[in-house]
Amino acid sequence: MSSTDWWRGAVVYQVYPRSFQDSDGDGVGDLPGITRRLAHIASLGVDAVWIAPFFKSPMADMGYDVSDYRDVDPLFGTLADFDALLAEAHRLGLKIIIDQVLSHTSDKHGWFVESRASRTNDKADWYVWAEAKPDGTAPNNWLSVFGGPAWEWDGVRMQYYMHSFLTSQPDLNFHEPAVQAALIDTMRFWLDRGVDGFRLDACNHYLHDARLRDNPPAFRGAAPDVQETNPYGFQEHRYDKTQRGNIAFLKRIRALLDEFSGRVAMGEVGDGARSPDTVGLYTKGGDRLHLCYTFDLFGTEFTPDYFRAIVGRFEKAAREGWVCWALSNHDVVRHVSRWTPAGEDPNEVAKLAILLLVALRGTICLYQGEELGLTEAELRFEDLRDPYGIRFWPAFKGRDGCRTPMVWEAAADNGGFTTGTPWLPVPQAHRRAAADVQAADPHSVLAAYRAAIGLRKAYPALATGSIRFLKAEGPILAWLRESEGEALLCLFNLSAEPATWAPGGLRGRIGETVAGGYEEAGRDLALGPWGRAVISLS
């Protein structure tokens, strides 16, 4: 691959700043803390670091409510701290991707303060404003992801404004050319500073239906966009997001990035059953996004049919584009907790899962702590900081369980995360999985992550080759990865019981085992509980 195509098949590591490393004892992670721990990230063998928002913000949604796109919130440090982080990352051979939350701002952003002041000022149309219905109710039936209507009444303008998330996160109006120009300009600010790319938060939310038509009810047999306890999943989101006109703005982003060498745009697409088609549409050709990050492997099912169906849909719908796979992130229950049956060892599931992930076709993203096998933390209601979880408790416990601080040193207070009081509790069980404990253990989850990522680097077929599923029965998941004369057989036993796989015509081609292992069972291959193997074919 050329240097401009480094993102194809790359491994990206996600950092959630407030939970990574605190450097000043206030209990919240910060940019100098990230800089301190970059060597750990580099030791995994990853290519890039995605850093969640660190911009100025009231922190109503933990930084996803931006009040100044061009500055660092004092909670996380300064612009000089970011420059130091960027320089150290580049010294270590790591690229830096930053979150860009463009679909909405904080209600404390100067743009919104001016917009809500009157209907005639220069930024009056920079947000989505609409008249009430004659009876005073909201303009349509659109819902907020975080609960309730997607509309909030403003008594100054005597209009409703749209918010796809919290009421304090008003949606920008992408039908207004000046809005698009202003956002492109903020991205240029960070490109000029040297960042290597952007992760575009909720990029299919940029444009709304200008006619404000009601969403129809969803087919309830389809997978909802969010957990079942939230009525947001009851609608088919036909008009409040994923509008065809959005592609024009994505092309503007790509044109901007093309002015710089080797920069990348990774869009986040949460679009329910439409995700494969949306990803295909957003990444096809060379003038849209480079790749898209999806939620499609964030389910609770852990079966061969689950993976075959999801990957198969993307292979069909996004064949001309590029997908970024992840198993966990800062918004969902950690995958070892989702997928480990009661009584089983989550570390074995973690080791299987990382080999499975690196063997998928596409770019992959790791979430901080999964390389230690961290499980979902059980928190009390009193400890919650996530407004989403507080709103839907107890049916939905929110996202704080996957956001607890990283554990660096088992013997240190708060696992070495902070010398102060951490913003979320550090579970005792996590301290036993600290990085310093695992670093010296060749059988640890951390060692398995380093080995799996190294495997992807050693075999181009795993990074960019084709993928073809093979017939398999029971809990066995099997596929081939092939590229330029290199062929790898990938086998996974998604169960706690031994299982066998019949290789059929491939039996005579089976060569060296390059990861995991199997045993001979006549002409079949036997995998132990949670067994996995990557085998070269002659």
Residues annotated as catalytic are: 201, 259
Choose among 396, 356, 353: nearest CA to 374.
Answer: 353
Choose among 483, 457, 477: nearest CA to 353.
Answer: 477
How many Å apart are CA 405 and CA 49, to the nearest integer? Answer: 17
Please check whether residue 202 is in contact with residue 268, taking contact to mean a CB–CB distance below 8 angstroms.
Answer: yes
Q: Does the N-terminal peptide bond of residue 503 adopt cis geometry, omega within 30 degrees of 0? A: no
How many Å apart are CA 171 and CA 191, to the nearest integer? Answer: 24
Choose among 241, 100, 108: nearest CA to 164.
Answer: 241
How many Å apart are CA 17 and CA 403, to the nearest integer? Answer: 10
Quick one: how far is CA 16 from the chain centroid?
Answer: 11
Q: Which helix (H) or strand (E) holds 266?
A: strand 264-269
Please check whether residue 332 is in contact with residue 292, taking contact to mean a CB–CB distance below 8 angstroms.
Answer: no
Choose among 197, 515, 518: nearest CA to 357.
Answer: 515
Strand pairing partners for 110?
none
Please check whether residue 490 is in contact with residue 484, taking contact to mean a CB–CB distance below 8 angstroms.
Answer: no
> What tokens does 42 get?
């580099």
Considering just the CA atoms, what is the radius of gyration of the chain in Å? 23
Q: Is the dihedral of CA 76, 79, 84, 86 positive or negative?
A: positive
How many Å apart are CA 32 and CA 80, to the nearest integer? Answer: 10
Query: For the chain, percent helix, then strand, then coil, each to nearest 5?
Result: 30, 20, 50
| Residue tagged 């660190």 (tokens) | 54
Please check whether residue 72 is in contact with residue 78, taking contact to mean a CB–CB distance below 8 angstroms.
Answer: yes
